[in-house]
Structure 1
């Protein structure tokens, strides 16, 4: 599919301002998260936005900040906000955000301006309707199926029968066929931390590489809002105002789990001290309304955000390392999720399996702070031993949390090694040391640079291969590593 000149389009939206501000300023000033002034700086970071768009954010933030329980549905009822939306030509509050991709299609998430009937049209076929409601905080998710595997299909979203404005050249992606052969490309990363969401170079680069999906591992859009659900929603509203984000997710299907910052705040998990089960459930409900996953945890009152999916020849399991933790040793996933995880691992059929966790599998960075190595080494050993005992092949570990990007080989006493690919660099933030002389199993490390991870899988070879690339937002291939399935399969 031909891509439009994205930078030119963004310049028009931004009023022609400088597109690439000093990120030194961003990293120093935007550490002061939490107030309206910061949110406005973030909105304008990648090019000054029209004044009416800034007024929209001011109005939304002020309303949502006033009470912990305020919603976007309540905001949309306010006459002043309605008038600003009309002045800005806003046809909807968020989306389209693609997700839940399969070989036959994907789902389309949208947030409307009022309770409405939502349909998606692909060619001459209409899907839906699905109704957005006050209870869903004006969101609707429309499943689309019956497409040919591995295709990109132009689409339109209709709200109450009228087409809404969506990014030019938006296409609905169907994944490659779910077989043990074939090719697929999957992008991944974490730690947008709000200011990376507007990085148009990075978004356009991901788009240009035509991945079948983008896996986001946490610290994405919400920044340390604790139990203030109004501000959780304000941060998601800010996310959906960024042209770079709008263009990316209108074509690349997204699967998302959380980490600490978009859960409550840094290093928090379970029910934080001074908070309640109701607080935890509320944060989870807002997250589920703001994304487009095929499932969320147990899909019942137990909640959680873990999931399993299949993208072409690759199984994907994304765990939830926050919601079920009991803030004591040995409870990283909780008993029920751990049992679920083991069952899913044994059931995987693809030549490669991506295992995703919001924080790191290894102990190397920051002495393993807030990772498996410190919080639940017994649980990690239980998983690794299960993989080795059952000779489960093709396992790729991905992680986030520790700002920057690092890759490690995790050696086992059996002589086998797991490979961990961390790409917590979508927001370009600096973090702990990128490298160390003590880390003799490390194969890449960066800090303070915008980058995303990518797996290109060729499963139709006699010994299927996966090539990892760490891609800088300037198109630089920072690191490349090719591994075969046999290298990723325990022997004994």
Structure 2
């Protein structure tokens, strides 16, 4: 049985008066945004970093109220709601979310959009001095009003502005909306940004987003606690949080030009430290949460599909293989491979062996290492044997260039993970997209720690240079505003087991 909705309706931690005064509250826990799941808290988050026009506030309120009627409410409920329909007509609103780029290829990307009602979606772009039309793709009630339009035929290393049309009419999108394809010139460097724990309040943090955009990454990896906050199996409220995300101007500015790749962690799965089928919930609840997720993002694919479940995936971005694991859906308390599940573990091993290099980014929503909080809710507590299998597979097969990225433990940290063979893995954990802290960021006992920061809005960044005989990757932890908090350059040879 799903948790009662009243458990979500908690009080606000930030008053409207405080917001009007421009306060940015801090505490021992770092940045404190509104925590509650009720409408008032969501409206405070909507207006946290910039005051939204009154029509936007009314529209979100109507969307929220439509989704609050039933824990299984979907965007078909929103499309049928008289108040939402009236506001969309008055404001000329044809889409509720996007465009959001994803699935980057050498010759294009896919454009995700959520419409206000079932509609025909097209994307137009000028290629070789000729305007091409991509689509149409129809958003439907079954797709939760989303449409994903592939844009292909672009040249590598180019920037192609695009326009989006709903039922034949052009919609308003950010002026800088464009698809930037990876260059096939080995002399060109490739930059990928990443991080976790934005939560709902970090989505619209202007300084952090502006700095990411300034770096012009080819893609952004976000792999845990991104947009939904502790909604358990209340699917209507999952969708309300995604609507909150999509109405943030800062979010739209980011995803219209930067392809995003995502996976979840505990807070956008069910709730804090939850996994598998949590107590008092069902497999149907788990599958429902997964379905909402797959319709709210723009990944290449999602785990084993609707039947098999999970949201893990593998793709290639420039010189990198990117493997994003799912440490929530399949997890059990006991048994072999209980952290990822047997099927995902088999997929992970096969995928690692198939990677072509020169670098591999491998993400986990929680920590790969056991340094922080004794490995709480992570590999070391649940499945150290499975982790050893993965590490040993990499060493035995001399798989080169593996970079571990992690999240969950608020703050930003980095570690070397020494191995009995003498080899060392490197783990980077910028769980700082929401400006929070958690456990102490440093500890004198952590002899292999690279850095530790807390209470800062910051993101991670990899810059790859494959023009040399021994390719390099430079990691930077960049604070909102542009200051580099930490920097480290590694050669592929250092990341290759001997």
TM-score range, shorter chain: over 0.9
Provide the TM-score with structure 1 as the length reference.
0.94
Given that 2:31 and 2:434 are in contact with CA atoms closer than 8 Å, whether structure 1 keeps it comes out as no
Question: Equivalent residues in 2 for 1:55-454 (5 A)?
Answer: 55-123=58-126, 124-177=131-184, 183-328=189-334, 330-454=337-461
SS at the partner of 2:308? coil
Q: Secondary structure at the match of 1:308?
A: strand
The DSSP-based 3-state class of the residue aligned with 2:438 is coil
Q: Secondary structure at the match of 2:307?
A: coil
Deviation sequence 1:44-96 (CA, Å, 0-9, x none)? 10021112211222222122122111111211221211122233342310000
**Corresponding residue SS for 1:111:** strand
* Distance in 2 separating the partners of 1:141 and 1:176: 24
CA-CA distance at 1:30 after TM superposition: 3.1
Aligned to 2:51: 48
Tell me by how many angstroms 1:348 deviates. 0.3
1:180/1:313 contact within 8 Å kept: no
Q: What SS is found at the alignment partner of 1:53?
A: helix
How big is each residue's C-alpha offset from its partner over 1:115-154, in whole Å with a ceiling of 9 and x where there is no partner?
1111111111111111100000100000111111122210
Q: Unaligned regions of 5+ residues in structure 2, if any?
A: 1-18
- 8 Å CA contact 1:189–1:452 kept in 2: the answer is yes
Instruction: Please say which of residues 409-418 and 320-329 is displaced more in the overlay.
Output: 320-329
1:9 corresponds to = none
Q: Which runs of 4+ in 1 moved over 2 A?
A: 17-21, 25-33, 85-91, 179-183, 327-330
Q: CA deviation at 1:23?
A: 3.8
Question: For residues 483 and 342 of structure 1, what CA distance do their matches in structure 2 show?
Answer: 24
Structure 1: segments with no counterpart, 5+ residues: 1-16
Any conservation in 2 of the 1:21–1:45 contact (CA below 8 Å)? no
TM-score normalised to the size of structure 2? 0.92
Q: Indicate yes or no: 2:36 matched with 1:33.
A: yes
- Counterpart contact for 2:180–2:257, Cα < 8 Å: yes
Aligned to 2:5: none
Equivalent in the alignment of 1:3: none
CA contact (8 A) 2:97 2:247 kept: yes
Structure 1, residues 200-234: CA drift from partner, whole Å, max 9, x if none?
A: 11111111111000000110000000000000000
